[in-house]
Amino acid sequence: MGNKRGEGYVQVCVLVLILCLILSIFLTFVYAVNFVRITERNAETVLESYVMKNSIRIYNSIKQGTNETDAIDAGEYVNDLTSFCTFNKIRNRLYHYDGDGNVDYYISEPTVKFAERNKLKLIVTYTTYVPIYFAGTQVTTATIPVTVKLNLEGKF
């Protein structure tokens, strides 16, 4: 008779567990990258919207041939991003929650500045934080710095 203690299945069970762990790590990575891409796209969309809302002042500066603007209202940009992405602002962080009220991800408050002094080349920088869970417990938080650039030049 053969061995009935199940010793032959130990290797198979270990291999299945290892494959599940690798798949879990891969899916977590894809999950985190997806949030980074979403926030980057949204930040760029809101930055373009910010420029469109201020387009008359910006257009006048381009028309004058200076391609200069005098100030950036970073607070207005952050408020627009908060409402566009349905963030909740708590201190200097913007949080996004899932349907169950758990934190999906959060970002540091974005800074908006000129790439070149008073030129229409804008840079938004912030850091995206994605909580990493394993077996329902938060293990760590992935920290990803993000930079979004918008370069507007007159085509005259």
Helix (H, G, I), strand (E, B) or coil at 72: coil
Annotate 61-81 with b (16+ C-beta within 10 A) or e (fewer).
Answer: bbeeeebebeebeeeebbebb
| Residue at token pair 């409402």 | 83
Residue range 88-105: average pLDDT? Answer: 89
| Residue at token pair 């879990």 | 24
Report d(CA 8, CA 11) in Å as an integer: 7
**Range with the poorest average pLDDT among 57-61, 65-69, 130-134:** 65-69
pLDDT(155) > 60: no
Name the pLDDT band for 90 (thresholds 50, 70, 90): very high
Q: What is the CA radius of gyration of the chain?
A: 23
Report d(CA 26, CA 35) in Å as an integer: 15
Rounded to 5°, angle at Cα 37 from 36 and 41: 120
Name the pLDDT band for 145 (thresholds 50, 70, 90): very high
- Check residue 143 and give its pLDDT: 92
pLDDT(125) > 70: yes
